[in-house]
Amino acid sequence: MANIKQSMEELMTCDGATCAALVDSSSGMILGQIGSGMDLEVAAAGNTEVVRAKLKTMRELGLNDVIEDILITLGKQYHIIRPMARKEGLFVYLVLDKNKSNLALARRKVVDVEKEMVV
């Protein structure tokens, strides 16, 4: 089991990782962060809205399911958002340089880190 700091450090071992955070989706507040290249406070708040919108849409559609992860693909970056299965209301956020990363391996790493993280 790993604490938040160790988990953030582990996420940064992904090829192309630029920054990562653990975010409380009820408030948009960051509980842990690492890396640079963007304002993670703004990113956390904005991606909180993404998670809330997807959950609302799922409820309205009557989908009885959970979000495994949300992938946002930009021209130069991948943004992976993974709600924690064992700790409702929190999500792991990882930003990758698209030209330096392997998306499949990064998604796998986020799954592994999320499972081992103790909050």
pLDDT digits (tens, 9 = 90+) for 3-43: 999 999 999 999 999 999 999 999 999 999 999 999 999 99
The total of structural domains in the chain comes to 1
- Whichever domain contains 31, its CATH number is 3.30.450.30
Structural domain including 22 reads 4-116
Q: pTM for the full model? A: 0.95
Residue 52 reports pLDDT greater than 80: yes
Taking residue 69's Cβ as centre, other Cβ atoms within 10 Å add up to 15
Q: Has residue 61 got a pLDDT over 90?
A: yes
| DSSP 8-state secondary structure symbol assigned to residue 38 | S
pLDDT at 68 over 80: yes
Contact 28/48 with Cβ under 8 angstroms? yes
Answer yes or no: are the C-beta atoms of 96 and 14 closer than 8 Å.
Answer: yes
What residue spans of the chain are helical by DSSP H?
A: 4-11, 40-60, 103-116
Q: Which pLDDT value is given to residue 115? A: 95
